[in-house]
Structures are given as C-alpha cells and as structure tokens.
Amino acid sequence: MAQDTRGAAPPATSAAASSARAPPLGSAAAGPEPPGPGAGGDARPGALGERSGAVCGPGPSADGCVSPAGEAQEALQERYRMGSLLGRGGFGSVFSGTRLADGAPVAIKCVPRDRIQHWGELVSEWGQRPADGIVLLAQPDGARAPLEIVLLDKVSSGCAGVIQLLEWVELPNSFLLVLERPERCQDLSAVLAERRFLPEEEARGLFRQVLDAVRHCTSCGVLHRDIKPENILLDLATGQLKLIDFGCGTFLQDAAYTQFAGTLSYSPPEWIYHQRYHGEAATIWSLGLLLYHLVTGKHPFRRGQETIWGRILFPRRLSQECQDIIKRCLSMQPLDRPSLQDLFHHPWLQGVRLP
C-alpha cells in the first residue's frame, strides 16, 4: 500500500532539479511508468470559465488539418523557453521554463494525449484578450479538454495557495500546460527530507495555508484527492504554499465515490475496507496524515511497506492541542472526523500569522 496508484510523480521543484536534457517545446515526453486509475466514473463534464491568460488550443479540424495546433505551438515557443526536467510520471513530464517577456519562471507540463483518461467540456468566448496582450486561441462552447485543465481553470484564481494555470495549448499528440513556479521553491517532501520534521509552530502556519487552499477548491466544486507533501510547493522566499498537481482531481459530489485516485498510503480506511469514500471525510483523513507527517517526519501507520492501523504515537514535544487535531482527523469512522470548517475553529489553529 505504499505505492502511488496513478503512477504520476509530482514535480520536484527544488533548486536541485534534474539537469536532464529537455525535449523541444511541444514534444510528448512521458515517463515510463504505466498510468494508474484516474477519476474513474466519478468525474463528470464541467465548464471551463473564461479566465484571462488561459490559452485554449484548437485541435485537429474536421478534415484532419492540424495547422491551428501548429500555430499555437509556435506562439507558445515565442513566449517561453523550456529548461530542465523537474519531474516525470505516468501522466507526463514537467519541465522548468522561462517566460521570455519578463524572465518569470514557469513550469511546463507535457501530457501525452494517450495518457488522458478523463475530459471536461469547455465554455469559452471568441476574441477574449487578457491584460497582458496574449490573444486567446479560444474554442467554441462544448469543445473538450482534459479534466485536469478544466479543474485547474476552476481553481486557478481567487486563492494564492493554489497553483495558477497561466495558459495551455493542445497539440496533435499532447497537451502543454504552463503553470506558475516560484523562483526558489521546494515541495514539502523535499523540505522534510532535509529537516526530518518541522517545529510545531512552523507546521501550524503551513497547515493553515493548506486548509485555505482546500477550502477554496471545495468552494469551486473541485476535489483534489491527492493531498500529500509532494503536492504542496513552498516558496522559500515568502513562505507561501501552493497546492499543485490536480491530475487525480475530480468534481466534488455529495454521493460516495467508488473509484480511487491518488496515493494508496494516504487513502482512508473506508476505501480499504469498503471501496467507497466521501469527498470531505477522505480529505480530512489526508489532512491528518499530512499534519502528522509535518510534525514527525513520518507516516503514523506505516511499518516498512505495510500500513497497519493502530494507536497513534506522538513525540512528547507536541502540544495536546496539536495531538488532538491529528487524532480527530484520523478517526477510523468517517462520521467522527471534523468538517473542514470545524478545523478552522480548532484551538490549535487560532491566531496563526499567514504570509
């Protein structure tokens, strides 16, 4: 139960990123891992809001001509320079990049078309022109896009704690997503690898930021489904967190989900025992695991390659309030876990100073 069932390794955006040679912008560079289960039957079509800066790349026309996609790729090459490989997984590869207009760092995610399992419907307008002067290559209403793009567009504005999709383009064999990337950043797994664990006060501020990001996604009708240290990016200059990688995400629903997507070692017990889970309860479980990981540097139930349910052991240095919020989130029964709103009112999270 230690493996990531979708096979997609999140980008490691630390300064020690891989120096692998980058392919030409627009090539379908995918990792060797086989794609795992995605959103299954839980995902349903959604609308892509009209957001400034999102490039909706046109696909092949009815007669098979792909010249619009070629034009879109050329336009993207004129705006960005691709750098080294940051991460690779079953859903594609992520490269560092630079926006040529101002030198801003970006991440460029290349997703081969044959790795895309779930799609959503676009709703866009012709002729929209964002503030930075980039002309949107918009599609008519009803056109399809990968579900990850639809979800990212829904959550990319209105919350600094969620990674922003700057633009995307469809090519004949792949999709390119251009995402914001702090200049000096690490995912939390890299931070923990260096420091083993975080002091409680520092973890408290970071955890509160994660809650804000999750609340924003929920308000947008999006369920991330893979909250873990590898999918949380820390801006080393500002202390600002970014929730990244919506490749396992889906639309939020009241009914139980019967298909799993994410990392099995972060899955709730109701999935293991009953093969079903509700979105909020599973999210709270993953948040409890995340917080325990931040303050101890390890998984509470992992013993080697196995996950063994049992009593949660805490270091003596942790406050009773910190222990209490973790124990509540990791209640074996979903109905015993607090709601997301309950967490915001927990005494441990009061008076947190945010960046």
Q: Which residues are catalytic?
A: 226
How far CA 288 is from CA of 228, 257, 326, 332, in Å, comes to 10, 20, 5, 12
- If DSSP states are collapsed to H, E and C, what string results for 275-336? CCECHHHHHHHHHHHHHHHHHHCCCCCEECCEECCCCCCCCCCCCHHHHHHHHHHCCCCHHH
Residue 298 to residue 230: CA distance in whole angstroms = 13
**Structure tokens given for 301:** 């139930």
What is the number of other CB atoms lying within 10 angstroms of the CB of residue 351?
Answer: 7
Torsion of CA 333, 335, 341, 347, to 10 degrees: -60
